[in-house]
Amino acid sequence: MTAPNSIGVPPSVGSPSPLGWRFTAPLLLGSTLNPINSSMIATALVGIGIDFKSGPEATASLISVLYVCSAVAQPTMGKLSVIFGPRRVFLSGVAILLLAGVVGVLAPSLEVLLVSRALIGIGTSACYPTAMALVRRRADEAGIGVPGRVLGNFSIAAQVTAVVGLPLGGVLAGYLGWRALFAVNIPLAVLAFSFTLLGVAKDAPAQRQGRGTLLRMLDLPGIALFTGAVTSLLVFLSSLTTPVWWLAVLALVLAGLLMWRERHARSPLIDVRMLGRNRPLQRTYLRSILAALATYTAMYGSSQWMEQSVGLNAATVGLILIPLSLTSIVVARLVSGRGWIRWPLILAGLALTLSATVMLLANQGSGVVLLIGMTLLLGLTNGFSSFANQAALYLQTSVAEIAVASGLLRTSMYLGAIGSSSLIAIAFGPTATDAGFHTLAWIQLAIGAMMVALTVVDRSVPAVAAEH
């Protein structure tokens, strides 16, 4: 069911904002812990490999395990928040993160470190869907429509921390050792936990349920089938250069069983009947997958190409990519402040096609100015799409659905992110050449056109999300 875009009576003049910083700050902090942990680890893989006498393939699993656990846990945590209350699940996730930090600091082997990364993925995954549920609950109680500025802050915070994570990880690993990347989660978790206790109102008392009733509400078979389907799909997408086709078949079979199970479950993890009827929400997920696929493909593909083909060093490439992040942040703030949805989604696709056009014109002799222009356009794509897709989902779901729906939005982004690594590998092969870079450009053109078409034909996407 699509939630109405109702606007209630605003709070009286001089009264504290129901969505002020006391309430939103701990939710923002918690929601940034996943992206910052995703990017921070990259600078420590070499040191971890040396200490545990492991090769690049083994240490790379520290990245993939967090992605897989996060993709599975985001909607699952959303489901748990519906049963136990979003504040309780948020605090539980932060507590798991605290435990993960301790395990990582004390890890005697790579296997234990993998457990820590899995716990980080699970714990941090509780924060974003529950934060969206808490914001929706508070906004509805206050009679507010779509809290555009608040949603914009979540988009901006995720972008900032994903960018900050790489240099922060380098500083921590360089001066304090790689265990500092795990230790930093301990004070962050303590801060998020403490501020949540102080600034976020308690959930309503949980109703006592019998064991059988609670198990039905948890939908453990649905969670197991969803975990198997998503994990199989992610592993398949991560190795498209040498595809393991039985994984694709397994993902399809498990997805079919999941749909059958959820149609008959009394309290399904994923309400497939609602999702089947809610075509606008389906398109939002598809746009999210495409935007993530395009952004990560261009960002990581361009980085490799600029180093291997153009001959730039890593520091220069990093400086060239800075405008991408800055543009994304500025545009997201502009769009969220005005509550624009429809045109930003269209402009995101158009900006991507322009960025891809610049990629087609670029070659190993291209100057820095052209490369910066390419990243600026990509920043427009990211900035326009991040808030608009989030706001569209807010309008397309009810208060009871938003936690799981928000978790699935993050899952869709992980699908795009992991798929990008295989696209890059297929286009480049052993070396990032001009020809491979131009292949990526044609793929980006196609994705941009699809993003525009998905929005133009979708008349349900409003021009503006009203807010009081």
> What is the per-residue pLDDT across 18-27, written as a single tens digit (0 to 9) for each?
888 899 999 9
Q: Mean pLDDT across the stretch 163-183? A: 80
Q: Identify whether residues 252 and 279 lie together within a single domain.
A: no
CA–CA gap between residue 172 and residue 185 (Å, rounded): 12
User: Which residue, chain included where needed, has tokens 């990032």?
Assistant: 432
Q: Identify whether residues 254 and 303 lie together within a single domain.
A: no
Q: Identify whether residues 446 and 468 lie together within a single domain.
A: yes
In a domain, 4, yes or no: no
Q: Is the model's pLDDT at 162 over the cut of 70?
A: no
CA–CA gap between residue 322 and residue 167 (Å, rounded): 12
Q: Is the model's pLDDT at 315 over the cut of 80?
A: no
In a domain, 359, yes or no: yes
Q: Identify whether residues 27 and 124 lie together within a single domain.
A: yes
Q: Is the model's pLDDT at 157 over the cut of 90?
A: no
Q: Identify whether residues 233 and 352 lie together within a single domain.
A: no
Q: Is the model's pLDDT at 289 over the cut of 90?
A: yes
Structural domain of residue 76, as residue ranges? Answer: 19-201
90-106: buried (b, 16+ CB within 10 Å) or exposed (e) per residue?
A: bbbbbebbbbbbbbbbe
Last-in-domain residue among 168, 201, 234: 201
Q: Identify whether residues 82 and 178 lie together within a single domain.
A: yes
Question: Are the CB atoms for 395 and 462 separated by under 8 Å?
Answer: yes
Q: Is the model's pLDDT at 100 over the cut of 90?
A: yes
Give the chain's radius of gyration (CA, Å): 22
In a domain, 278, yes or no: yes
The pLDDT value given to residue 12: 43
Q: List the CATH number of the domain containing 293.
A: 1.20.1250.20
CA–CA gap between residue 448 and residue 456 (Å, rounded): 12
Q: Identify whether residues 84 and 64 lie together within a single domain.
A: yes
In a domain, 11, yes or no: no
Q: Mean pLDDT across the stretch 432-444? A: 91
User: Which residue, chain included where needed, has tokens 């656990």?
Assistant: 69
Q: Identify whether residues 360 and 313 lie together within a single domain.
A: yes
The pLDDT value given to residue 168: 74
58-81: buried (b, 16+ CB within 10 Å) or exposed (e) per residue?
A: bbeebbbbbbbbbbbbbbbbbbbb
CA–CA gap between residue 54 and residue 49 (Å, rounded): 5
Q: Identify whether residues 46 and 75 lie together within a single domain.
A: yes
In a domain, 206, yes or no: no
What is the tally of structural domains in the chain?
3
In a domain, 3, yes or no: no
Q: Identify whether residues 105 and 143 lie together within a single domain.
A: yes
In a domain, 423, yes or no: yes
Q: Identify whether residues 142 and 278 lie together within a single domain.
A: no
In a domain, 404, yes or no: yes
Q: How confident is the model at residue 232 (pLDDT cuts 50, 70, 90)?
A: very high
Q: Identify whether residues 251 and 282 lie together within a single domain.
A: no
The interaxial angle of helices 86-106 and 56-84, nearest 10 deg, is 160
What is the value of pTM for the model shown?
A: 0.82
